[in-house]
């Protein structure tokens, strides 16, 4: 069964460093998302992406964040200068569209900023 | 008032019990309702997806949506220890993005 994959599973970085989180969505899906979950808190929407552009972003998704689909399979989230409060689980999700609205999530990347 | 409210539990039941999990919401624009299961430090796994009001059954799971009361439920029949996880409700108003708004999750433990 197709699934969303994410790498790395755990990333440790120092404050101020740049990180890139990678995702491979399900192959015939057209809509891509990033969410994050701070420990003990809700899963929160960050950004949605369709047709090679951002379709919506939350207020969390400030200028430190960017997303890219560099090729036909990968979808990345870049945090330019990490802060302590960026420590969280980051989940990628994808949706096929065309009436199929279910979102499928990857296993997540645990980001620890020290 | 929070957009989606979910009792965090924890909820502990014996094996074989019927479990009822619930969420309330305030945004009347929500039309799509989902339940996800999340094991510790793992990604949310889609269990049930419903559109608008009504019931949907899949094996031991039944999802109910009452839009007039802004209330959704997930019932688990014949609960098993493997059902022990955090259950997240999520909803969307649709539109072009279908971004999801989540509840905080209910931690369920099914004891053998």
pLDDT digits (tens, 9 = 90+) for B31-72: 999 999 999 888 999 999 998 888 999 999 999 999 999 999
Residue A102 has pLDDT above 70, yes or no: yes
- Report the residue from A31, A42, A108 with minimal CB separation from B43: A108
d(CA B30, CA B5): 14
Element housing B31 (H / E): none
Tell me whether residues A101 and B94 touch, CB distance under 8 A. yes
* pLDDT confidence band for A72 (50 / 70 / 90): confident
Extended strands (E) in chain B: 4-6, 11-14, 19-25, 32-38, 45-51, 54-58, 61-66, 71-76, 85-92, 101-102, 106-111
**Beta-sheet pairing, A65-68 with A53-57:** unpaired
Are the beta carbons of A91 and B44 closer than 8 angstroms? yes
Average pLDDT of the residues of chain A:
95
Residues B3-24 have a mean pLDDT of 95
- B interface residues, A as partner, C-beta within 8 Å: 32, 34, 36, 41-46, 49, 51, 88, 90, 92, 94, 96-105
| Greater pLDDT, B53 or B16 | B16
Residue of A nearest to B93 (CA): A101
**DSSP letter (8 states) at residue B75:** E
Degrees, nearest 5: CA angle A85-A60-A36 = 65
Cβ pair A107, B43 in contact under 8 A: yes
pLDDT over 70 percentage in chain A: 100
Closest CA to A49 of A20, A21, A75: A75
Token duo for residue A7 = 């790498």
Is B1 a residue whose pLDDT tops 70? no
Contact assessment for residue A83 and residue A77, using Cβ atoms and an 8 Å cutoff = no
Give the number of other CB atoms < 10 A from CB of residue A39. Answer: 9
pLDDT at residue A1 in the model:
75
Chain B: closest CA distance from residue A80 (Å): 24
Nearest in space to B24 (alpha carbons), one of B75, B68, B87: B68
Facing A106 at nearest CB: one of B32, B36, B43: B43
Report d(CA B109, CA B76) in Å as an integer.
Answer: 12
Number of A:B CB contacts under 8 A?
62
Are residues A95 and B42, on separate chains, in Cβ contact within 8 Å? no
pLDDT exceeds 70 at position A74? yes
Whether B36 contacts B63, CB under 8 Å = no
Cβ-based contacts of A104 with chain B (< 8 Å) = 46
pLDDT at A77: 98
Range in B12-16, B26-30, B51-55 with the lowest mean pLDDT:
B51-55
């Amino acid at each position: 069964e197709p699934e969303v994959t994410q790498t790395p599973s755990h990333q440790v970085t120092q404050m101020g460093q740049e990180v890139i989180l990678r995702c491979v969505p399900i192959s015939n899906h057209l809509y891509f998302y990033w969410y994050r979950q701070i420990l003990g808190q809700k899963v929160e929407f960050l950004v949605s992406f369709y047709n090679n552009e951002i379709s919506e972003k939350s207020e969390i998704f400030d200028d430190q964040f960017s997303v890219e689909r560099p090729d036909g399979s990968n979808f990345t989230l870049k945090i330019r200068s990490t802060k302590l409060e960026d420590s969280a689980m980051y989940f990628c999700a994808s949706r096929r569209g065309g009436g199929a609205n279910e979102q499928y999530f990857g296993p997540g990347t645990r980001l620890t900023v020290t | 008032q929070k957009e989606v409210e979910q009792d965090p539990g924890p909820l502990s039941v014996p094996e074989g019990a019927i479990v009822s999990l619930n969420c309330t919401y305030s945004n009347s624009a929500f039309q799509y309702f989902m339940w996800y299961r999340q094991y510790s430090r793992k990604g949310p796994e889609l269990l049930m997806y419903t559109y608008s009001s009504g019931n949907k059954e899949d094996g031991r799971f039944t999802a109910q949506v009452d839009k007039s009361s802004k209330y959704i439920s997930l019932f688990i029949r014949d609960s098993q220890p493997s059902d022990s996880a955090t259950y997240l409700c999520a909803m969307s108003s649709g539109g072009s993005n279908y971004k999801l708004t989540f509840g905080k999750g209910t931690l369920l433990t099914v004891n053998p």
